[in-house]
Amino acid sequence: MYPDLQGKVAVVTGAGRRKGLGEAIARKLATDGVKLVIHDLGEAKGELAPAHGVGASEEMVEVAEGLRAINPDVSTFQADMREEAQVEALIAHAVKTYGKLDILVNNAGVGYLFGPLVDATQDMWDTVLNVNLRGAFFAMKHAIRQMQTQEIEQDWGRGRIVSIGSRGSKSGSALTSSYIASKHGLVGLTRSAAIEYGGEQITVNAVCPNHVTTGLGSWQNDYMAKKRGQTVEEYLAAMRGRIPLGRVGEVEDTANACAFLCSGQARYITGEAMNVSGGEEMH
């Protein structure tokens, strides 16, 4: 528990799916007394935004209801992260609803447009980069503008931004070229923003988990196992064999890291890309 998070206000993007990474992050923050705006796209939009990769509006409502059992201050907002005006409206909604914005968690991302680089289309590339990187930039831009208007709180600062990277922020992998490029870029964006706004006591960090078997993670397991000619269990067994701690990541691992970086205990940490990978990634 982090008592200094009590009463803080956070936007968590891409948090509208049950048992997803965003929901787990929101749940951890809610447990620490944070007022929340949970975001998602709200509807599937064809092959580039299929149902298995999007939090539908009905599912967002269910996620919010579950979180309100922990903390009643939970709001929802639908927005397309590729559109700056919609992202700006998301941040404005948080301020209008709760009077301020202390924390931004950039979790929204596309992790399903996989395949050989030579088969990727411009639309596939643009969708991944525009959600994973451009959307995070838009959210950062408008969150920081709001944070700059707020007073510096002793022993905590003025604001916290945590972006969800990946083991793919540090290392490459086959069949995921656009995803890897976007996640590497997210770490660069994090480091640059940390340098620009550290003097204003706004910290900017990233959390880089390895594979987590959420609903989307299950789809990834199926896809990658088929590409390797393996069963899903064979694929996961090989993955566990590469991880010193011997298991695949869980949503709570990433959620706990996010909460720490949002707390006062992390007030002297900025520009970092924290690995949460059981030792699979060590740089």
Q: Any idea how long the chain is? A: 283
- CATH for the stretch 3-212+250-273: 3.40.50.720
Looking at residue 54, its pLDDT comes to 85
pLDDT at 29: 98
- CB burial class (10 A; 0-12, 13-18, 19+) of residue 89? middle
Which residue in 183, 226, 227, 235 is the catalytic one? 183
Catalytic residue among 2, 98, 112, 179: 179
Tokens 């950039």 locate to: 106
Say if CB 107 and CB 25 are below 8 A apart.
Answer: yes
Give per-residue burial for 239-268: e unless 16+ CB within 10 Å, then b.
beeebeeeebbbbebbbbbbbbbbbbebbe
Q: How far apart are CA 41 and CA 247, in angstroms?
A: 31
Please give the pLDDT value at position 214.
78
List of the chain residues with pLDDT < 50: none
183 is catalytic: yes
The CA-atom distances, in angstroms, between 193 and each of 21, 121, 196, 272 are 24, 30, 5, 11
Instruction: Retrieve residue 234's tokens.
Output: 């064979």
Q: What pLDDT sits at residue 70?
A: 97
In the sheet that 159-164 helps form, which strands lie side by side, from edge to edge?
A: 74-78, 35-40, 9-12, 103-106, 159-164, 202-209, 273-276
- φ/ψ bin of 64: left (φ > 0), alpha (ψ from -120 to 50), beta (otherwise): alpha
Structure tokens at 248: 């695949």
pLDDT of residue 215: 73
Q: What is the pLDDT of residue 248?
A: 92
**CATH 3.40.50.720 residue ranges for the chain:** 3-212+250-273
Which one-letter DSSP state was computed for residue 160? E
pLDDT for residue 226 = 93
DSSP code for 37: E
SS3 readout for 124-136:
HHHHHHHHHHHHH
